[in-house]
Structure 1
Amino acid sequence: MRSGVRPLTGVNFALRAGVAVPRSVTLHALPPAILTLVPAYRGFQYVLVGDDIVIIDPDTYEIVDVIPA
């Protein structure tokens, strides 16, 4: 919640790599702290689903990774 990003609830997609999320989902820029830990995520965006951080490719809207809370 420190980032001001509200978690999604009641999602209708699986939380695993390769799954496309609906384009109606609003993506957010990754916080610098995550990019410091995982520089390979540069260029990706994210959403929160519950407490999980879901890394998404903004070009394809496919899930790249899920970081559990």
Structure 2
Amino acid sequence: MSRVSNVNFSLNVGTAIPRSVTLHRLPPAIISLVPAYEGYSFILVRDDIVIIDPDTYEIVDVIPA
């Protein structure tokens, strides 16, 4: 899995990220911890986990490392 280090968007909830960014499926272990994340994807930005809505490409949550 690749990390994104140079981003041209703010890491804030509600920010839409570029559609050129490759999203990854959340592991089942994360879904079992936070069932509300079912259906969402994520990217790694530096060491932060950024939860993304795959339909809108908007940031849903940022989990700091």
- Give yes or no for TM over 0.5: yes
Alignment counterpart, residue 31 of structure 1, candidates 4, 23, 27: 27
Which is richer in strand? 2
Alignment counterpart, residue 8 of structure 2, candidates 4, 8, 12: 12
Alignment counterpart, residue 39 of structure 2, candidates 11, 36, 43: 43
Unaligned stretches of 5+ residues in structure 2:
none
Alignment counterpart, residue 53 of structure 2, candidates 53, 57, 60: 57
User: How big is each residue's C-alpha offset from its partner over 1:20-64, in whole Å with a ceiling of 9 and x where there is no partner?
Assistant: 000000000001111111000000000000110000000000000
4+ residue segments displaced more than 3 Å: none
TM-score, normalised to structure 2, is 0.97
Q: How big is the alpha-carbon RMSD for the aligned residues of Structure 1 and Structure 2?
A: 0.5
